[in-house]
A and B are shown apart, each in its own frame.
Chain A
Amino acid sequence: MANNQRGGGIQRPNGATQNKICQFKLVLLGESAVGKSSLVLRFVKGQFHEYQESTIGAAFLTQTVHIEETAVKFEIWDTAGQERYHSLAPMYYRGAQAAIVVYDIQNQDSFVRAQTWVKELQRQASPNIVIALAGNKADLAASRAVDYEEAKQYADENGLLFMETSAKTAVNVNEIFLAIAKKLPKNEGTGPQQNIRPSGNETNRTSGNCCSK
């Protein structure tokens, strides 16, 4: 993964060179067993495990998305949803440019929990963080407990991206990450924060120029 960025440009499958590489820290939050790890696994590996084991601590994955001339590399921190790991969460969402707050559309409680996560992010995380709300397990809409409209309205009021996703059927999984990727550079433009960070080798100074200019 390191050599992807070092050269300043990477080879696309079709051979064309890519000029811009952006790197974003993205964190997934939400109650346990709503499908955070499944969403990430679907996005990163294209896989789905019916019996996904519960995450311990946090999981770290990367995936690169290409939008026009820019390669957007997501550094994804998939946090453990269990309440006892809650104290770790601030460490992971600190400095994150994007967050996906996940709930299970079959579970009203998980939606309530998602709202408190959103509140916490708005209060504690970087002010310019892009938050997306994902109503996961959309394939199980038959036993839905959270209305699409209700969630949509909540998302609009709070300025969140919103999609109902299904890690199992891959519905809206790539889409939600893409939507975040598209929203991110625009948000970034003026802020002095290091929204876009280089890989470890490069210095902060060069990073500031990555996508903003």
Chain B
Amino acid sequence: MFSDNDSEIIEGFLCPICRSDEKTAEDLLRHFEDEHSEEKDLISTFRDVFKSAKKKILNNLDEREISKAIESSLSINKSIIRVDFKGPQEIGIFKDHFEYFKAIRNPRLERYATETNKLIIRLNKLLTNRPTDPQQIKQHEQNLVPWIDGKLVKLCPSCAKSFFFTRRQHHCRLCGAIMCNECSHFLSIDESMSIINPSHEYPKPDSSQTDVIIKEPEDTIRMCEHCLHLLETRKEMQDGRLARPFITKLYERIETLKKEVMPDIAMYEKIIKSLYKGDSVYTIADASALRGKIGSIAELLDDLSKKALTLKAQQGSREEALHKSLRMGVIKFIKEYMLELPQIPVEDEIKKIQQKRVMELNQKIERDRRLAQEAFEKYDLCGDISYAATSSKTGSALRTVDNWSGYQEQNQTNANDPLIIQINIVKGYIKQAREAMRFEEIESLEANLKELQHEYWLKTQNN
């Protein structure tokens, strides 16, 4: 019943009329529209209409038949319109040319890279074990790079001038090519060294070192324009890799300043707090010195960020936005952390607070003493304790009211006492630390000092 079918299965964007594969849906629709357009179809459908009309005349068919035929032809037209306009338009064909670009670019790059590398290697060889004697230099150079035979070259390849006894032939030391003196370029030894070894620091000579300045042959290398160009390109690339834009440097500077100032601000707040508490560890002078330091950093930050605004940038560019936001960031930082610093307290106020604290302490000591006395009276130990309490009172008063002058008189009397010496040393340290605004050290030194003083007090008690 079924005949064998060995025809191939074809698949794809096949045209239903001519069965050609159009590769994409869009191409197929376009092809269908172009090749098998409505007109041809209309002709065939009208032919049908005419045929049926003829039939009608001949066979007297009823009206329905012909209207049906027209209808069907219309419906076909409708379907064609549907084909044309159905579905969202897709974007045209994409073709990625990146691979092609790479295929072109890679060999080119490679050629440049190998050529440049060859020059660098030669330059390196030329510079190592470079003899000092000019005659030997020439021999050294010719050993490394084969020089082109001068007889073969009649004209300078770059300026096309003929050579004669005033315009002599010269060789590029890197490729061995011939040129005239005017077309020669010279690279100083120092600069050559820096090309070979980028970290090589050479004393910056005056800016025109690569220009056509004829120097002594010992400290320059003659080369043709081509070789120089390759080396310069490489150098530019190296420099470009190392160089950073000014804005980055500015930003880094600002960031380090910010980092530095943060502990200072924290310390300042601590000092103020301790002053208001009536502690004697820090003085008002400490606070104002630190405040001054913070203020100067704030000014510096402000200046730096203003500099960012003065940098050149196109109106509305991202660069400009970057500069602005750098400035805004600094302003915000200053407002947030530096402008809202608590005021330095008035000296009288602090003195009052300190005196009050001393009084409180004294009262407390008095109360403790009384309590202790009452307690010890029962055990007949009152005398010793009362002595200890009064003595501690004077000690603490001296210490809290005036840290610096309090013990100095005693120093003279007990200069031999190792404890006193130690106390003086610590005090010296504190003084130095204060000058250097090392407030954390001051704090620990003060604690140390208190211990020493306590020790000293105990000792005097025992005596």
Which residues of A come within 8 Å of B, CB atoms? 1, 4, 10, 13, 41, 44-45, 55-67, 71, 77, 84-88, 90-92, 94-95, 124-127, 174, 178, 190-194, 204
- A–B complex contacts, Cβ < 8 Å, 17 sampled: A57-B12, A57-B25, A59-B11, A60-B14, A62-B7, A66-B1, A66-B2, A77-B16, A88-B28, A90-B80, A92-B16, A95-B16, A124-B75, A124-B82, A127-B71, A127-B72, A178-B1
Kindly state whether residue B102 has any CB partner on chain A within 8 Å: no
Kindly state whether residue B29 has any CB partner on chain A within 8 Å: yes
- When the two chains form their complex, are residues B3 and A95 in contact, meaning their CB atoms are under 8 A apart? no
Distance of A103 Cα from B25 Cα, bound (Å)? 24
B13: chain A residues within 8 A (beta carbon): 56-58, 88
Q: Per a CB cutoff under 8 Å, which of B5, B51, B75, B76 touches A44?
A: B5
- When the two chains form their complex, are residues A192 and B12 in contact, meaning their CB atoms are under 8 A apart? no
With contact pairs A61-B9, A77-B16, A127-B71 given, residues A192 and B29 touching in the complex (Cβ less than 8 Å): no
- When the two chains form their complex, are residues B14 and A192 in contact, meaning their CB atoms are under 8 A apart? no
Q: Per a CB cutoff under 8 Å, which of B16, B19, B25, B80 touches A87?
A: B25
Distance of A62 Cα from B76 Cα, bound (Å)? 24
Distance of A56 Cα from B21 Cα, bound (Å)? 11
Q: Per a CB cutoff under 8 Å, which of A59, A87, A125 touches B9?
A: A59
A93 nearest CB neighbor, chain B only: B79
- When the two chains form their complex, are residues A124 and B78 in contact, meaning their CB atoms are under 8 A apart? yes
B49 nearest CB neighbor, chain A only: A192
Distance of A59 Cα from B9 Cα, bound (Å)? 7
B21: chain A residues within 8 A (beta carbon): 57
The 3 closest A-B pairs by CB, nearest first: A57-B13, A87-B87, A59-B11
- When the two chains form their complex, are residues B5 and A125 in contact, meaning their CB atoms are under 8 A apart? no
A67: chain B residues within 8 A (beta carbon): 1
A77: chain B residues within 8 A (beta carbon): 16
Given contacts A44-B5, A61-B5, A88-B13, 19 further A-B contacts (CB under 8 A): A1-B7, A4-B3, A56-B12, A57-B13, A58-B12, A59-B9, A59-B10, A77-B16, A86-B86, A87-B83, A88-B28, A90-B83, A91-B16, A92-B16, A94-B80, A125-B79, A127-B75, A178-B1, A192-B52
Distance of A124 Cα from B74 Cα, bound (Å)? 10
B69: chain A residues within 8 A (beta carbon): 192-193
Which of B16, B21, B55 has the most chain A CB within a 10 Å cutoff? B16
- When the two chains form their complex, are residues A90 and B29 in contact, meaning their CB atoms are under 8 A apart? no
Least distance between A163 CB and chain B CB atoms (Å): 17
Which of A64, A77, A85, A192 has the most chain B CB within a 10 Å cutoff? A192
- When the two chains form their complex, are residues B83 and A91 in contact, meaning their CB atoms are under 8 A apart? yes
Interface flags for B317-334 (1: CB within 8 Å of A; 0: not) read 000000000000000000
Least distance between A208 CB and chain B CB atoms (Å): 8
Least distance between A201 CB and chain B CB atoms (Å): 14
A125 nearest CB neighbor, chain B only: B79
With contact pairs A60-B10, A94-B76 given, residues A193 and B5 touching in the complex (Cβ less than 8 Å): no
Distance of A94 Cα from B13 Cα, bound (Å)? 16
Distance of A66 Cα from B32 Cα, bound (Å)? 33
Distance of A90 Cα from B78 Cα, bound (Å)? 10
- When the two chains form their complex, are residues B68 and A91 in contact, meaning their CB atoms are under 8 A apart? no
Least distance between B14 CB and chain A CB atoms (Å): 5
Q: Per a CB cutoff under 8 Å, which of A64, A124, A204 touches B5?
A: A64
Q: Per a CB cutoff under 8 Å, which of B3, B19, B68 touches A60?
A: B19
Distance of A55 Cα from B3 Cα, bound (Å)? 25
A174: chain B residues within 8 A (beta carbon): 1-2
Distance of A60 Cα from B71 Cα, bound (Å)? 29
- When the two chains form their complex, are residues A127 and B10 in contact, meaning their CB atoms are under 8 A apart? no
- When the two chains form their complex, are residues B25 and A66 in contact, meaning their CB atoms are under 8 A apart? no
- When the two chains form their complex, are residues A64 and B2 in contact, meaning their CB atoms are under 8 A apart? yes
B264: chain A residues within 8 A (beta carbon): none
Least distance between A104 CB and chain B CB atoms (Å): 21
A25 nearest CB neighbor, chain B only: B16
- When the two chains form their complex, are residues A58 and B79 in contact, meaning their CB atoms are under 8 A apart? no
Distance of A4 Cα from B69 Cα, bound (Å)? 31
Distance of A91 Cα from B14 Cα, bound (Å)? 10
- When the two chains form their complex, are residues A45 and B5 in contact, meaning their CB atoms are under 8 A apart? yes
Least distance between A193 CB and chain B CB atoms (Å): 6
- When the two chains form their complex, are residues A91 and B2 in contact, meaning their CB atoms are under 8 A apart? no
Distance of A127 Cα from B78 Cα, bound (Å)? 13
- When the two chains form their complex, are residues B5 and A66 in contact, meaning their CB atoms are under 8 A apart? no
Q: Per a CB cutoff under 8 Å, which of A71, A87, A193 touches B72?
A: A193
Q: Per a CB cutoff under 8 Å, which of A4, A90, A192 touches B86?
A: A90
A4: chain B residues within 8 A (beta carbon): 3
Least distance between B325 CB and chain A CB atoms (Å): 45
Kindly state whether residue B390 has any CB partner on chain A within 8 Å: no
B391: chain A residues within 8 A (beta carbon): none
Q: Per a CB cutoff under 8 Å, which of A56, A178, A190, A192 touches B51?
A: A192
Interface flags for B49-91 (1: CB within 8 Å of A; 0: not) read 0011001000000000100110110011011101100110000
Distance of A106 Cα from B106 Cα, bound (Å)? 56
Q: Which of B29-48 contact A (CB under 8 A)?
A: 29, 32, 44, 47-48
A64: chain B residues within 8 A (beta carbon): 2-3, 5
B28: chain A residues within 8 A (beta carbon): 57, 88, 91
Distance of A26 Cα from B10 Cα, bound (Å)? 15
A90: chain B residues within 8 A (beta carbon): 79-80, 82-83, 86
A10 nearest CB neighbor, chain B only: B3
- When the two chains form their complex, are residues B11 and A71 in contact, meaning their CB atoms are under 8 A apart? no
